[in-house]
Amino acid sequence: MASLAICPGSFDPVTVGHLDIIRRTAKMFDRVIVLVLMNSKKSGGMFTPSERVDFIKRSTSHIPNVEVEFHDGLLAEYAVKKGAVAIVKGLRVLSDYEDEFKQALTNKKLASDIETIFMVTDTEYMFLSSSLVKEVGSFGGDISDFVPSAIKQDIIDRIRELRER
Ligand code: PNS
């Protein structure tokens, strides 16, 4: 049976660091679903779920075994329904670890057959996060090295729209 991995996240918006993890996961599994989910600790957000999905689709269109979905519910529930064998998450700095570890244990409790795999980030992306992209962009900084080129202008446009409101 074809192996399926899920790369979950809030992706508000997807960064080149996320893309690196997705690309490396796609080499290890037959299929990868990049799953946009809501993180209850992060309220609001700059982009809607469908915009986030669209950004990831445009940024991964060159990787044939990657699909992109949104799920308004539990990650574990979705992973079981789809028959996934693994949840793959990128780990950057040590401070990521505590929360990621709790999430992995919760998901294991909810879906004992699904393994969480932590993939170590490339050193180039250790500092990078969606919040950092929004912060640098909001102050007019150059985000070219932080986000896929296909979506850079959409981010700049949204920041401008929000500023003009
Ligand atoms: O990119 P993020 O914000 O670190 O991703 C966190 C995310 C969205 C994967 C996590 O909050 C999540 O799994 N949300 C869906 C709800 C859920 O399954 N919660 C239980 C596991 S903590």
pLDDT of residue 89: 98
Contact, 6 vs 79, CB < 8 A?
Answer: yes
Q: How far apart are CA 103 and CA 96, in angstroms?
A: 11
CA of 149 to the centre of ligand 1 (A): 26
Residue burial 20-41, b: 16+ Cβ < 10 Å; e: rest: bbbebbbeebebbbbbbbeeee
Residue whose CA is closest, atom 18 of ligand 1? 74
CA of 91 to the centre of ligand 1 (A): 14
Q: How far apart are CA 81 and CA 26, in angstroms?
A: 20
18 carries an active-site annotation: yes
Please identify which of the residues 18, 52, 89, 134 carries the catalytic annotation: 18
pLDDT digits (tens, 9 = 90+) for 115-128: 999 999 999 999 99
Beta bridge partners of 88: 117
Task: Give the tokens for residue 46.
Answer: 């700059």
Q: How far apart are CA 73 and CA 89, in angstroms?
A: 18
Cβ neighbours of residue 165 under 8 Å, at least 6 residues apart?
Answer: none
pLDDT of residue 119: 97
pLDDT of residue 44: 84
Q: How far apart are CA 76 and CA 68, in angstroms?
A: 17
CA 83 remoteness from chain centre: 20
Q: pLDDT tens track of the chain, all 165 residues?
A: 899 999 999 999 999 999 999 999 999 999 999 999 999 999 889 999 999 999 999 999 999 999 999 999 999 999 999 999 999 999 998 888 999 999 999 999 999 999 999 999 999 999 999 999 999 999 999 999 999 999 999 999 999 999 988
Q: How far apart are CA 13 and CA 58, in angstroms?
A: 12
130 carries an active-site annotation: yes
Ligand 1 — pocket residues by CB below 6 A? 8-10, 37-39, 42, 74-76, 103, 106-107
Residue whose CA is closest, atom 11 of ligand 1? 39
Predicted TM-score (pTM) above 0.85:
yes
